[in-house]
Structure 1
Amino acid sequence: MTTPGTSKYPPGQTALIAKIPEAEPLVGHWRSQLDSVASDGVPAHVTILYPFLDHDRLDDTVIGQLGTLIGAHPAFHVRFQRCGRFPGVLYLAPSPDQPFRALTDAVAERWPEAPPYEGQFTEITPHLTVAHQQESQLLDRVEAELADTLPMAAHVHEIHLLVSDGSRWREDRTFALRGHI
């Protein structure tokens, strides 16, 4: 969820995320320094869909449909056992990642006008970003330190809709997944 070259987003832009509060003790320190969205108000998370529909399009019908769609997916446990990389990015890889993929696919299928990451990538890789737009040597050091803290387990039971005000993200609402684990 980062716009190249800036940490600011258009007012009204939205995102759907799965918060991973269990990760904060492990990655919060690194994210606060190395991932600009952390200082913009975004907690440790796995993105479900970014960007989603602009906030002014989120009427009662869309919110109801989104709640029904998300509520059809079961809550789940996930483990983060290893780090992964994209160019300039260090992340924690969720296992299993299929529940995140299923949620992304379902939302993107229902709202094809909001493809993940604006359609920039052909394959979506669920991940929890630790560092973004950083040099490889720094990512190597952070990854080595994180390796000693893994694995980490989490429970995903809701999806959060975040809205940008142009400089910070705030939570707009939460959608429950089906059932409890």
Structure 2
Amino acid sequence: MADDYARGLQAGASGLVVTVAEAEPLVRAWRDRLDPSARASVPAHVTVLFPFLHANRIDEGVCAAIGGALGRHQSFEAWFGHCGRFPGVLYLAPESDTGFRRLTQAIVERWPENPPFGGQFDDVVPHLTIAQCQDEAVLEKAEADLLTGLPVVAQVSSVDLLVHDGTQWRQRASFPLGEARLR
């Protein structure tokens, strides 16, 4: 959910994310310092879709539709073995991003009026943001430290719906992926 803090968020903004709890021990200190979303209570994550619907449009029917769209996809293992960069941004990159792309595609097919990141990018690259709006020296220092703790391996078994309350992000719901429903 990068760059949303530069624009300022209204209460009711929402997004769908895969929380990557397994990455927290490695990335938390860097994210707390260098990623505004961490300071707004967003856990280490890979964005599935941001922005999503305004919170006042999310009811039981929408939640059922999200669950249906995501529940057709099996849980999968994500392996984060290296860092990547966008201008001013450092992130952990999954070795295979196919599972994340499929989750995004499933939601966008159901809600095509909500393209990822408002349609500002031709190709949305799944990633776990560590730092944004930072200079090169800061990114290099963070990357050198992170590389000593990689890889991070995570089991992706659900997608969380986060809603912004005007100050912080709060989890509103969690949607299990196919295999995870059976556990």
Instruction: Tell me the TM-score normalized by structure 1.
Output: 0.96
Which SS does the other structure have where 2:4 is aligned?
Answer: coil
Matches within 5 A, 1:84-163: 84-163=84-163
Output the amino acid matched with 1:165: D
Matches within 5 A, 1:16-31: 16-31=16-31
Counterpart check, 1:54 vs 2:21: no
Output the amino acid matched with 2:118: E
Which SS does the other structure have where 2:179 is aligned?
Answer: coil
Distance in 2 separating the partners of 1:9 and 1:55: 13
Aligned to 1:12: 12
Distance in 2 separating the partners of 1:55 and 1:3: 16
Distance in 2 separating the partners of 1:18 and 1:113: 21
Aligned to 1:3: 4
Q: Deviations over 1:109-139 (max 9, x none)?
A: 1101111000000101000000011001110
Aligned to 1:164: 164
Number of residue-to-residue matches in the alignment: 180
Q: Deviations over 1:46-88 (max 9, x none)?
A: 0000010111111222111111111111101111000000000
Distance in 2 separating the partners of 1:178 and 1:109: 18
Unmatched 5+ stretches in structure 1: none
Q: How many Å apart are 1:95 and its aligned residue?
A: 2.2
RMSD between aligned alpha carbons? 1.2
Output the amino acid matched with 1:57: R
Aligned to 1:174: 174
Q: How many Å apart are 1:4 and its aligned residue?
A: 5.3
Confirm or deny: 8 A CA contact 2:17 2:159 kept in the other structure.
yes
Q: Deviations over 1:113-169 (max 9, x none)?
A: 111000000101000000011001110111111111111111110100000011100
Distance in 2 separating the partners of 1:61 and 1:42: 25
Which SS does the other structure have where 1:122 is aligned?
Answer: coil
Unmatched 5+ stretches in structure 2: none
Distance in 1 separating the partners of 2:176 and 2:6: 34
Which SS does the other structure have where 1:103 is aligned?
Answer: helix
Aligned to 1:41: 41
Which SS does the other structure have where 1:159 is aligned?
Answer: strand
Distance in 1 separating the partners of 2:22 and 2:170: 20
Output the amino acid matched with 1:116: P
